[in-house]
């Protein structure tokens, strides 16, 4: 019995030593290359070949780079039934100055405006600007100067900025991984909320600084797409982390954890990370001048104007959530008519009700 036990222990020890000896080494990664925002866009090869032929290699490369970065401008629409553009500008200036946004603009003057440079290069080579009358200049809030769109305001942000994540070789930085949709919102000025959090380093406590990275969906063997891990995964914070390399170049900023790791995955809502340093700095409009402004992209605003709704008409919006176009149509009708707004899920209809309230 003793001989059998000794033989088993020796065999187990020998196997462990051999496994350790033959463990593949993971190359060390330069922190500056890892802890940055430098995403790349991978196209379907057939689509890429088609677009390269259509636009030319250089122009297509500019398009691909620009698509990985957000606009440095936020676009909002004023509810002209309850306020005016001039009144909203004054309120926004006052509120954003109280939040220190003027300092962000000053800092942004020295930032590398990759997105703007790419857009300007494309427009210079390929035709006139799509927004010939938008003038930001020294002021970071301005009206759209197209006469029919004078209720549209633009707020200037800045980026990309280089973030110091305080990385040390002997102490991996604590990290929170968010979904792609959450990251897109953060790049446009939002905070990180609980539903967007997917994974977190161990032993994160409330009040600690955390780096915020993005989990981008990958193609699976079954033909579907996913991030490759379940919500609540503990990040190992080193090269041994199986998802370590996937997050390289996908860090969008640093913030303060507003909950402990345990708390993040025990609740369904609430502020998870208060973003203190962002790669792209744009103001957050969450609960700001509610009822007076709507955060909405310019193409959606133009869509409502192109429809040219008139008072007393009945209009059907069949893809209405979250309600930007629906409310824009109602305002253009001066609240005199009928707009029927529908969408394909209860959650989307709930968003409609919130926007139209």
Binding residues for S-adenosyl-L-methionine: 319-325, 343
The position carrying tokens 């161990």 is 202
End-to-end CA distance of the chain: 78
Number of H helices, E strands in the chain: 12, 15
Please answer whether residues 161 and 279 qualify as being in contact, where contact means their C-beta atoms are separated by less than 8 angstroms: yes
Q: Looking at the DSSP assignment, which residues form a beta bridge with residue 274? A: 256
Distances (CA, A) of 153 to 4, 287, 296: 81, 17, 10
Distances (CA, A) of 111 to 108, 116, 213, 224, 281: 5, 11, 21, 38, 10
Pairing mode, if any, of strands 225-226 and 141-143? unpaired
DSSP 259-288: S-HHHHTT-SSSEEEEEEEESSB----TTS
The position carrying tokens 């909405």 is 296
Tokens at 284, concatenated = 């957050």
| Interatomic CA distance for residues 222 and 50, integer angstroms | 27
Question: Binding site, residues?
Answer: 319-325, 343
Contact residues for 205 (Cβ-Cβ < 8 A; gap 6+):
257, 260, 261
Q: Which contacts of 63-66 are long-range, i.e. CB under 8 A and separated by 24 or more positions? A: 63/122, 64/40, 65/41, 65/114, 65/118, 66/115, 66/118, 66/119, 66/122
| Interatomic CA distance for residues 35 and 30, integer angstroms | 9
Residue 50, φ and ψ in degrees, nearest 5: -65, -45
The position carrying tokens 């000794």 is 6
Contact residues for 190 (Cβ-Cβ < 8 A; gap 6+):
182, 284, 286
């Amino acid at each position: 019995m003793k001989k059998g036990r000794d033989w088993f222990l020796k065999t187990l020890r020998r196997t462990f030593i051999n496994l350790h000896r033959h463990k593949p080494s993971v190359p060390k990664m330069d922190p500056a290359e890892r802890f940055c925002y430098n995403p790349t866009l991978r196209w379907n090869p057939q689509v890429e070949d088609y677009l390269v032929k259509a636009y030319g290699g250089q122009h297509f490369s500019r398009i691909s780079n620009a698509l990985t970065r957000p606009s440095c401008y936020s676009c909002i629409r004023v509810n002209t039934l309850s306020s005016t553009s001039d009144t909203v500008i004054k309120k926004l200036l006052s509120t954003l100055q109280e939040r220190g946004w003027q300092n962000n603009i000053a800092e942004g003057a020295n930032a590398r405006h990759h997105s703007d440079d790419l857009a300007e290069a494309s427009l210079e080579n390929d035709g006139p600007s799509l927004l010939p009358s938008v003038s930001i200049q020294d002021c970071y809030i301005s009206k759209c100067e197209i006469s029919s769109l004078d209720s549209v305001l633009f707020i200037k942000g800045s980026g990309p900025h280089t973030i110091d994540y305080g990385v040390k070789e002997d102490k991996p930085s604590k990290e929170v991984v968010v979904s792609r949709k959450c990251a897109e919102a953060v790049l446009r000025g939002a905070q990180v909320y609980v539903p967007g959090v997917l994974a977190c380093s161990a032993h994160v406590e409330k009040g600690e600084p955390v780096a915020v990275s993005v989990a981008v969906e990958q193609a699976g063997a079954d033909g579907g797409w996913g991030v490759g891990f379940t919500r609540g995964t503990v990040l190992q914070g080193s090269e041994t982390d199986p998802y370590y390399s996937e997050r390289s170049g996908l860090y969008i900023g640093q913030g303060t954890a507003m909950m402990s790791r345990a708390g993040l995955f025990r609740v369904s809502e609430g502020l998870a990370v208060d973003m203190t340093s962002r790669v792209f700095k744009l103001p957050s409009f969450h609960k700001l001048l509610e009822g007076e402004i709507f955060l909405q992209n310019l193409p959606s605003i133009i869509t409502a104007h192109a429809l040219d709704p008139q008072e007393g008409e009945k209009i059907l919006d069949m893809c209405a959530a979250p309600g930007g176009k629906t409310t824009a149509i109602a305002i253009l009708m001066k609240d005199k008519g009928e707009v029927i707004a529908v969408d394909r899920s209860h959650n989307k209809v709930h968003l409609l009700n919130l926007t139209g309230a």
